[in-house]
Structure 1
Amino acid sequence: MRALVSMGMVMVMSGCANVPELANHDPVRHAIGWINRQFLACPETECPSPTRKTLAVVDLPSRPQKTLDSVKEVDAVPKVIPTKESVEKRTVHFQFGKALPTPQGLKTILDLPPNAKAATRIELDGRTDDIGPKAVNDRLARQRAEHVRDWLLREGVKAPIVLSAEGGCCFADSDKTESARQRNRRVEVRLVHRVLGRDAVGNKQGAQ
């Protein structure tokens, strides 16, 4: 009996000695990678590395700041001064029934060019006395205004000249005397000058 037990123990021990040893492998770690446009499990060492993205640095333009110089430029804009008109009046007298000036009227015409050249606009109104038909007086009144205009143009006046004429009206003297009629045979001349508002104020103060 004892011999059988000893024989069994020997067989067990020899069987244990023949058991093969298992290889000692390191465990494989898996990860998730983007493969063929989809996420798949893959060995950690074989998964494709993700592409690192970098952000581009862009310098934004700085907002210009207002400076004192720019403020001064706005303040330095000249103010618009309104202009005014001053009118200088002259009267040229004419002979009876003619478009020729009297001696005094001729003197007035000769004195016109210097001031007329400085004018910005010239207005001429031809007039007659009350003697004669209306149509004749209208034509004579215009001829008198044209006589003054032609003289100014020959003297080199560049300002625009506006003519108006009417006979037998707008009398300077309504009396029926010869002296009154002589005053009515005339051309009224208005020399219009344009001046700055500041100058107009100064002239007004000087006249006082």
Structure 2
Amino acid sequence: MNRKFALACVLPMVLAGCASNPALHEEITAPQKPSVGWVKQDWRICEEDACPKPTPKTVELSVPQMAVVVKPADPDKPSEPQVTNKREPVVVHFAFAKAIPVGDWKHALETIERQVTPSDSLLIKAYTDDVGSAQYNDRLARQRAEFVLSWLKARGVKNPIEVEARGKCCYVESNDTDAGRAANRRAEIHFVNTKEINR
């Protein structure tokens, strides 16, 4: 009997204490949802339904997005060429005073066959050493360039090819030694864009 009486007295006090506990009250109540509004030309977070009602000038915000700034192209600045595969010129050396190639020239020209693409053009620049007259060396340089041209055409290279006979010009070594003059007796085959060869 005393146990029932004590339980009847204590139970109302426990319930009253739970009801007056503010922390427990906050857990029970539903959390308020903030809303976003365009206030004074800026985005503001407001209590639910406390933001100003949208007007025709209001910008609606659904998901924040990063602004992307696109820089306009400068018409005066030329666009940089896209280089996909830089290829060095192929060099063929020639015997003294002749249009006969020396060294591993066949392997060098076969490199062109392997590397050339349908969009390529070829530019052959032929040179001599400084021995002899300018007229003689111009003719000799032309013959050396034509040898390379004929060989490539015979092997089925159908790309546009331009020839430049430079003669006594643009030395890569000094002409004071036999080795230097041998290095200067050469034809360079360059891979160029089709537009560049028609300039």
Q: What TM-score results when the alignment is normalised by the length of structure 1?
A: 0.50
Gaps of 5+ in 2: 1-78, 195-199
After superposition, the CA RMSD in angstroms is 2.3
SS of equivalent to 2:167:
coil
The aligned counterpart of 1:94 is: 94
**Residues 193 and 87 of structure 1, relative CA distance in 2, 3 Å threshold:** farther
The aligned counterpart of 2:124 is: 124
The answer to which structure, 1 or 2, has the higher relative contact order (CA under 8 A, 6+ apart) is 1
Q: Where do 4+ consecutive residues of structure 1 move more than 6 Å? A: none
Q: Is the 8 A contact 1:121 1:161 kept in 2?
A: yes
Q: How many aligned positions are there? A: 114
Pair member with larger Rg: 1
Q: Quick one: percent identity of the two aligned structures?
A: 37
Q: Is the 8 A contact 1:119 1:191 kept in 2?
A: no
Q: Is the 8 A contact 2:122 2:159 kept in 1?
A: yes
Gaps of 5+ in 1: 1-80, 195-208
d(CA) in 2 for partners of 1:118 and 1:174? Answer: 37
The aligned counterpart of 2:82 is: 84
Q: Is the 8 A contact 2:129 2:175 kept in 1?
A: no
Q: Is the 8 A contact 2:129 2:184 kept in 1?
A: yes
**Residues 103 and 182 of structure 1, relative CA distance in 2, 3 Å threshold:** same
d(CA) in 1 for partners of 2:80 and 2:174? Answer: 40
The aligned counterpart of 1:166 is: 166
Q: Is the 8 A contact 1:123 1:190 kept in 2?
A: yes
d(CA) in 1 for partners of 2:117 and 2:182? Answer: 29
The aligned counterpart of 1:157 is: 157
The aligned counterpart of 2:188 is: 188
d(CA) in 2 for partners of 1:170 and 1:177? Answer: 16
- The one-letter code matched in structure 2 to 1:161 is I
d(CA) in 1 for partners of 2:156 and 2:186? Answer: 23
Q: What TM-score results when the alignment is normalised by the length of structure 2?
A: 0.52
